[in-house]
């Protein structure tokens, strides 16, 4: 995987972000944390999970209406919590083995992984306030654990 191109919300500089296990991506120009949103493919999926911050995995499919509804909410969360969370999006139609590994029974499905281990999941498309509250609780629980 060659990496994603992310525009810095602070200064507008375009930055290339590669999969990495330590630290968080920062703007090459102003050094502010960048939103870490990655469209993973099956070959690079496991490498994207090796991070020093919690990972929210969005398991979705292009034909799924509720998946398209929650995507902007989850992406907005990742942008507003740059440096604190990584969002990895995976089209399960291209990755049936990964869907089977996480026992996906329905989509959309959000997984929260810390140190590569699943700590919580949310299936379906709850109302925006409920989804945002769930995402915020995931970061709160991680902070209380001393991360």
**Residues catalogued as catalytic:** 64, 67
E strand intervals along the chain: 4-7, 14-17, 36-40, 55-60, 86-91, 109-114, 117-123
| The two three-digit tokens of residue 73, written as one number | 């909410």
Strand order in the sheet with 86-91: 36-40, 86-91, 55-60, 109-114, 117-123
Q: Considering only CA atoms, which of 131, 135, 141 is closest in space to residue 66? A: 131
The span from the first CA to the last CA of the chain, in angstroms, equals: 28
């Amino acid at each position: 995987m060659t990496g994603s191109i992310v525009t810095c919300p602070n200064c507008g500089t375009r930055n290339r972000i590669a999969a990495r296990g330590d630290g968080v991506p920062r703007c090459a120009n102003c050094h502010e944390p960048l939103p870490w949103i990655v469209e993973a493919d099956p070959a690079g999926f496991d490498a994207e999970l090796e991070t020093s911050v919690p990972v929210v995995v969005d398991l979705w499919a292009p034909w799924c209406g509720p998946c398209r509804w929650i995507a902007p909410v989850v992406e907005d969360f990742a942008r507003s919590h740059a440096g604190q969370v990584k969002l990895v999006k995976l089209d399960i139609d291209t990755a049936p083995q990964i869907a089977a590994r996480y026992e996906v029974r329905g989509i959309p499905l959000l997984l929260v992984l810390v140190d590569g281990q699943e700590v919580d999941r949310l299936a379906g498309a709850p109302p925006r306030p409920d989804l945002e509250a769930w995402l915020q609780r995931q970061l709160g629980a991680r902070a209380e654990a001393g991360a």
